[in-house]
Amino acid sequence: MPTPAEVSANFLSVYEDFLKGDANKSDLKPFFRKDVVFERSGQAGLITTLGGVFEGRATVLKNFRRLRNLVSTEELTVHDVLSNSFAVSPTFEFTPQTNRIAAATDQYSTVRENGKEFRLDQIAYMTVGKRDRISDLRFHYDSYPMAEAIAGEDDQIPNPNMDDVLEPVRDTEIDTDTAFGIVGNWFGTFGTIEGSRTGDTSGLVALGAVTQPDALFKFQGDPDILPFADTEVRQGIDEFIGGFADQWEHSYDREFEIQEFFYENDKVIANTREVRMAVPENRHYDVMVSIVQTASLENGGRVNSNEGIFDSMITVTAFNGEYPFINGI
């Protein structure tokens, strides 16, 4: 019997073949329960009909086909499949999950109609149920780069690739439980820092004790609209702390909830929900954030990278006061 991690990896391999045109819907069908629920990032109907929640295997496969008709995909790189996980309650109680998987991927595609290229930092969350079939699937990514490409924008956002910088410096010696403990300690420290609701960033210096001096940092988004969106991967503890400071100064925290942790080797992904307020417009926005971190054993064990993956289309709309693209495909 294959493990949930093996089922997930096999599915993503066939899904890549499908996007490239080397596999058919019939090749994907056996991976899903008939009543599978699928969610894809993006605001349905505003730029495409791809985003939203879809129920039922036939409907999900139609969504995959619409994506393939809209874009050609050159590559779907799977960096990590994280098979250890906990559900986290509002009172921060941990419940082990044996059938939940998170896979960190990159998708490289081109819009067929206009030739515009884009890349998605994508987390694939899935539940593998009875008969080794997927009952729940979510592709979580920033839909802004894809929407921008579909709209035919000439000046596309930088969208720097964390993996290009991170992969050569990842700790291959650290064990899974140690890495999870290091990241848990980081979140414990982060949770004690006051100021996220007021814009007071002075307490962020506490992160220096739990973060590597040369740590990497990245936030998604359009830097022309979001003051905390990055044009390149930041490096160094001052830049790391500065990334959070930029966010706190322009976007106040109203609610923060960790829903799940996933971990494997040196990588940990926190599946979170945040309600924040865009300071310039005084608008609240509700966004899912995949906080992707890695840990290393240097300096007694600290976090050495942080990437916040969220649908910045939601954030940009709150900051900008209007949806940034008008189209209908």
The model's pLDDT over 128-184, given as tens digits with 9 standing for 90+, comes to 999 999 999 999 999 999 999 999 999 999 999 999 999 999 999 999 999 999 999
The residue extents of the domains of the chain are 4-150, 162-320
Extract the runs of DSSP E, i.e. beta strands, from the chain.
32-40, 52-55, 71-82, 84-88, 94-97, 100-111, 117-128, 134-141, 211-219, 234-235, 251-264, 267-278, 283-296, 302-310
Which residues sit opposite 38 in a β-bridge? 54, 137
Q: Quote the pLDDT of residue 329.
A: 46
Copy the structure tokens of residue 54.
């879809």
Q: How far is 76 from 59, CA to CA, in rounded Å?
A: 22
The band of 209, judged by pLDDT with boundaries at 50, 70 and 90, is very high
Q: Which listed CATH number (3.10.450.50, 3.30.450.20, 2.60.120.1440, 3.40.190.150) goes with 162-320? A: 3.10.450.50
Query: Is the sign of the CA dihedral 218, 185, 260, 18 positive or negative?
Result: positive
- pLDDT at position 276 over 50: yes
CATH number for the domain running over 4-150: 3.10.450.50
> Could you tell me which of 140, 77, 137, 155 has the C-alpha nearest to residue 109?
77
User: Model pTM greater than 0.95?
Assistant: yes
- Distances, alpha carbon 33 to alpha carbons 62, 125, 226, 272, in Å: 15, 15, 40, 26
Segment 207-215 mean pLDDT: 98
Segment 207-230 mean pLDDT: 97
Strand 251-264 to 84-88 pairing: antiparallel
3-class DSSP assignment, residue 200: coil
Matching CATH topology for 4-150 and 162-320?
A: yes
For 22-31, 41-50, 182-191, which range has the lowest pLDDT when averaged over its residues?
A: 41-50
Mention every residue, 6+ apart, whose C-beta is less than 8 A from residue 19: 64, 67, 68, 73, 76, 107, 109
- pLDDT at position 328 over 70: no
Copy the structure tokens of residue 163.
């993996």
* Mean residue pLDDT across the chain: 96
Which pLDDT tens digit goes with each residue over 97-120? 999 999 999 999 999 999 999 999
Segment 277-306 mean pLDDT: 96
The band of 45, judged by pLDDT with boundaries at 50, 70 and 90, is low
Q: How far is 322 from 316, CA to CA, in rounded Å?
A: 8
